[in-house]
Amino acid sequence: MEQNHSQNRRTIMLKDSQVDLCGRTDFTRTAPLLARDEAFSFACAGCGGCCRGREDIVLSGFDLWRIAARLRLPPRTVARAFCRGSIGRVSRLPVLRLAPLKEEHGNCPFLTGNHCAIHDAEPLVCALYPLAQEITKDGQVSYFLQSTQCGGQVIAARVGDYLTRYDVPAREATDVRWAQVCMELEDTVERLDALFEPVFARRMQEKLWQALYYRYDFAKEYRPQLEENLLWLDGELKKLEGMQMRHSTIEKSDR
């Protein structure tokens, strides 16, 4: 995930650690947090370099739904065509990131020339750049500036104005909800991972992928579907836990 140039990053606070959405903890934020009325500046050459040679563009479920709606394709189809899935090493939650194109020197699959083909539905980390976002467990949202190395025109703005320019405030409540869901599920998955045998752990991961990313209709509003999926997931995880308990009981009685 580490690159030679600046990384888009969105972080959440899990337990006592700072964890990014790839489930990594091997980084620390050194840049100060910025107030929304605070000014910042950065240099941009408009070269699209921040979209090249990277594998760290992580999507939330909301990001995937937005891209799916933009392309008029089911979320699972978009994920299979343009993304790479994995399980977070720390969070043990599904992680979906844009898959760079090998034939295009590792560029973002939506980069055309120096422009984004899905600009009106770009992932949050792209809309924020060069700012990054940090969300605490109680839903507090902070921003900080990442370093850029492109050079070019110096752009100055206030944090709040810059966020509004890219419609970040309009989606912030949904992004906070997503982060809080991940934080809550991290605790649940940690407990169940310790309980489940491999077959039940795999089924749990399948349910998580569906609830967080795939079980959505791009033609319907996202938030109601997320809440519905979380209720469905809770029921499915309880079923799996019950199956594991019965299986363990049978194994004990057969000894």
> Do 164 and 200 share a structural domain?
no
| Residue-wise DSSP of the chain | ---SS----EEEEETTEEEETTS--S----SPEE-TT-EEEEEE-SS-GGGSS----EE-HHHHHHHHHHHTS-HHHHHHHHEEEEE-TTT-SEEEEEPPBGGGTTB-TTEETTEETTGGG--HHHHHTTEEEEE-TT--EEEEEPP----SEEEEEEHHHHHHHTTHHHHHHHHHHHHHHHHHHHHHHHHHHHH--HHHHHHHHHHHHIIIIIS--TTS-HHHHHHHHHHHHHHHHHHHHHHHHHHHHHHHHH-
Instruction: Tell me which of 172, 191, 221 is where a domain ends.
Output: 172
In a domain, 235, yes or no: yes
203: domain range?
Answer: 175-254
Residue 56 near residue 22, CB atoms below 8 Å: yes
Domain count, the chain: 2
Main-chain dihedrals φ then ψ at residue 144, nearest 5 degrees: -145, 165
Q: Do 222 and 110 share a structural domain?
A: no
84 shares its domain with 98: yes
The dihedral through the CA atoms of 120, 126, 132, 134 has a sign that is: positive
In a domain? residue 5: no
| 73 pLDDT above the threshold of 50 | yes
Give me the pLDDT at residue 16, please: 42
**pLDDT confidence of residue 136:** 87
Rounded CA gap, 142 and 130, in Å? 14
Share of the chain above pLDDT 90, in %: 62
Mean pLDDT, the chain, integer: 86
Cα atoms found within 13 Å of the Cα of residue 53, Cβ hemisphere only: 8
Q: For residue 5, name the pLDDT band (cuts at 50, 70, 90).
A: very low
Tokens of 240: 């799996």
3 inside domain = no
DSSP 41-82: EEEE-SS-GGGSS----EE-HHHHHHHHHHHTS-HHHHHHHH
**147 or 172: whose pLDDT is higher?**
172
185 lies in the same domain as 249: yes
Q: Are residues 101 and 167 in the same domain?
A: yes
pLDDT of res. 51 = 83
Q: Is residue 23 part of a domain?
A: yes
Is 2 a member of any domain? Answer: no
Give the mean model confidence (pLDDT) for residues 137-145: 91
Q: Are residues 66 and 149 both part of a single domain?
A: yes
pLDDT at 79 over 90: yes
> How many Å apart are CA 7 and CA 134, to the nearest integer?
14
Residues 119, 146 within the same domain: yes
Q: What pLDDT, in 10s, does the model give residues 100-111? A: 887 666 789 998
Domain boundary among 150, 172, 194: 172
Domain end, chosen from 123, 147, 172, is at: 172
Same-domain status, 41 and 95: yes
Instruction: Answer whether residue 237 is part of any domain.
Output: yes
Measured CA angle at 182 (ends 181, 184), to 5 deg: 65
